[in-house]
Structure 1
Amino acid sequence: MSELKDAESAEISYDFDIHSPDIADTVYDVYAEMREKCPVAHSPRYGGHWVATKYDTIHEVLRNPGVFSSESVNVPGTIGQDGPMIPIEVDPPDHQIYRKLINPLFSPKRMADLEPRIREITNELIDEMLKHEKVDFIDAFARALPSKVFLALMGWDLGDSEKFNHWADTIVLGEPGADEERATEVRTAAAMEVYAYFAEMIDERADSGDAEDITQILINGRFEDRELTQFEVLNILFLFLIGGLHTVQGQLAHTVIYMAEHPEVRKQLVGDLSLVPTAVEEMLRWESAVCPARVVKEDYVLDGVQLKAGDKILIPFASANHDGDQFPDPDTVDLTRDPNPHIAFGAGNHRCVGSHLARLELRIAFEELHRRIPDYRLDPADPPVRHLSQVKGVLTLPLIIGESV
């Protein structure tokens, strides 16, 4: 029987930094090396934390909330929020009570009702793109679509889209190049502006009487036998913002980069748009943006490694979804892949509450982009700039419209 490894074991030490720009373009190679050499590794960064990289191991963490708490999902511990983001940083049994309140806000019926508006927004953005030979796809489409859809879902002013994008960028990325203290400072300042905006929206709708208005539903929501506090409503809305904008933005950008670099795959999709649903799932697997963390609540042995109560562990979904033990040819994009048990939206009780909305946005975007802009390519002289964080994304994506390689 092999001896348990722990945080002091040199063979599982790996200097991994989820926020390092130096590995933004090579992080999948890093994950592959970790899966091979130290599937549960210990990084000295941010006070020390674990990183799990195998599909089965990450699934074990996700399915065991009693040991692996969601009380803090960030490394370092805050992105500026004032208290726990609800329900993602709440454990059972309270988590189920919040989810019961929130799930209907993203029901299939509500999403179906929103589809025409999403398609309208999508085509308005494409109309503007088609006026140019070259655009930054991030500014022209990937950043604008999810923020406008979020505002449409909430019934708020779509003119505030850019304001929301600025806040989300700052909260997720901090201040590029700044130290941890400064990054936390700018995140917190942006978060306070978000809370002030949400509080104003709550005040405006406190007596609207609109039974379908999401803000009103949350204001009237109950936690068992009591009303939700304004603090709870604010932190639910904060999660909607963070969870709904950067994730979809990154997915759209990574997909367009791949399709531009692989015109044969893009032409396969353009030639048969019925592939869009499975293409969405495959691109979610191929480039999974989210890398959450969990807090270990009791001593636990994970894949031969001794974790201690109080430890924090990162669980990068992107690494799980490239695990060759789970996915045949994991580094190949197959638009017809079936089955495709990816965990881009997590698993277990904290599976993403907004997954229906994200899939709807991506499906419509894939359809309309490849129907109206079948040819596009990158500019070799002006390549995309990616960023690495707990929501991996793309900072700039210069795209030449109407041409292919």
Structure 2
Amino acid sequence: MKDFAIPFTVDVYLGFMGLSNSRSDVLIRWVSDLLHGNGVKRTEAAQSIVNFIDEVAAMRRKQPAADFMTFVVRAQVEGRSLTNEEVRGIGVLFLIAGLDTVAAAIGFDLAYLARNPEDQELLRREPDRIALAVEELLSAYSTVQIIRVATKDVDFEGVSIRKGDFVSCATTIANRDPTEFKCPDTIDLTRQGNGHIAFGYGPHLCLGANLARREIAIGVHEWLARIPTFRIKDDTAPISHGGHVFGVQNLILTWS
């Protein structure tokens, strides 16, 4: 994760922002502290990220370039420019939503392929299948678990939910619905038409879904093109973490 998946996604982000990867390490630390740190670290990381976005926006207002932030600061909605708060919100959302989640998906994909050499060989032999395989693995290992807050008291299927309760809408469980998926507990990298909801649905569909798909597919493709048949290192096991973003904390792979 720390040597490949996370740096890969951070470098994509910095490229979109028109920045060099010299700030990769600090961005990685901020996002990690915000999503997985304690209260103090989260507060400090949140302020650091806001300051960073404001700094980049101010720079692009003075020095436009062919990058995402220039597009944002120049954008207009219904004839008006975006406010500073709107620009900041877009920048923060792009940073938070696009790093930990994509890195986690790559981690799950490589962990699965390390444990399943026959599927690993399939994708090596037929790399055109990688994009389809990514959809199947997104379905099996959805990284974002949607959290909602109940706005009123309700009894749902015999479960009492009270106003203010947090409700976890687990996408991984939804993606194993037997009324929607044939053999829902089986991972089939050749499955067609996977209607998973790893990116949400309808008006709540993830804005970065297409970018995430491309990043994951390219990351897996380039890994397979460079690294020979790999497996999980003996006497180790992948360490995962739960929460709003379900992810891989550590994954040690080895190869000959």
Alignment of 1:304-323 (within 5 A): 305=159, 307-323=161-177
Query: 1:20 aligns to what?
Result: none
Mapped to 2, the partners of 1:186 and 1:332 lie a distance apart of 39
2-side partners of 1:233 and 1:397: how far apart? 36
Please state whether the residue corresponding to 2:181 is helix, strand or coil: coil
Deviation per residue, 1:323-353 (Å, 9 max, x gap): 3332222221101112210001010212111
Q: CA deviation at 1:164?
A: 1.1
After TM superposition, the structure 1 = structure 2 runs for residues 358-397 of structure 1, keeping only pairs within 5 Å, are 358-397=212-251
Map 1:160-239; keep pairs closer than 5 Å.
Answer: 160-174=23-37, 183-210=38-65, 212-224=66-78, 226-239=80-93
- Which of 154, 179, 195 aligns to 1:325? It is 179
Output the CA distance in 2 between the equivalents of 1:192 and 1:327: 43
Indicate conservation of the 8 Å contact 2:137/2:187, yes or no.
yes
- The whole-number CA distance in structure 1 between the counterparts of 2:164 and 2:80 is 32
Q: How many residues align?
A: 256
Partner of 1:347: 201
Aligned to 1:141: 4
| Cα contact 1:267–1:374 (8 A) shared by 2 | no
Confirm or deny: 8 A CA contact 2:139 2:197 kept in the other structure.
yes
Change (3 A) 1:302 1:348: farther
Q: Deviations over 1:125-183 (max 9, x none)?
A: xxxxxxxxxxxxx1221111110001101111211111111111111111xxxxxxxx2
CA contact (8 A) 2:228 2:255 kept: no
Output the CA distance in 2 between the equivalents of 1:326 and 1:245. 30
Superposition TM-score, scaled by structure 1 size: 0.60
Q: Secondary structure in 2 aligned to 1:343?
A: coil
Gaps of 5+ in 1: 1-137, 175-182
| Residue deviations 1:332-380 (CA, integer Å, cap 9, x gap) | 1101112210001010212111111111111112222222224011112
Counterpart of 1:291 in structure 2 is 145
Pick aligned residue for 1:154 from 17, 26, 48: 17
The gaps in structure 2 that reach 5 residues or longer are none
- Partners in 2 of 1:239 and 1:192 — Cα distance? 14
Aligned AA (1:316): A
State the distance in 2 between where 1:220 and 1:265 align.
46
- Counterpart residue number, 1:46: none
Structure 2 equivalent of residue 280 of structure 1 = 134
Residues 296, 313 of structure 1: 8 Å contact kept: yes
Q: Which residue of 2 aligns with 1:248?
A: 102
Q: Give SS of 1:394's match.
A: strand
Structure 2 distance, partners of 1:215, 1:339, is 35
1:108-131 deviations in Å (ceiling 9; x for gaps): xxxxxxxxxxxxxxxxxxxxxxxx
Bigger shift: residues 359-368 or 293-302: 293-302
Distance 1:308 1:231, change over 3 A: same
CA contact (8 A) 1:378 1:398 kept: yes
Amino acid at match of 2:171: F
Q: Which has the larger radius of gyration?
A: 1
- Alpha-carbon distance change, 296 to 219 in structure 1, aligned in 2, over 3 angstroms: same
**8 Å contact from structure 1 (residues 218, 233) kept in 2:** yes
| Equivalence for 2:117 | 263
Give the letter aligned to residue 203 of structure 1. Answer: A
- The structure whose RCO (Cα within 8 Å, separation 6+) is larger is 1
The CA distance in 2 between the partners of 1:241 and 1:157, in whole Å, is: 15
CA distance in 2, matches of 1:294, 1:386: 23
| Aligned 8 A contact 1:146 1:244 in 2 | yes
Question: What is the CA-CA distance between 1:220 and the residue it aligns to?
Answer: 2.7
Distance 1:300 1:221, change over 3 A: farther
Helix, strand or coil: the match of 1:247? Answer: helix
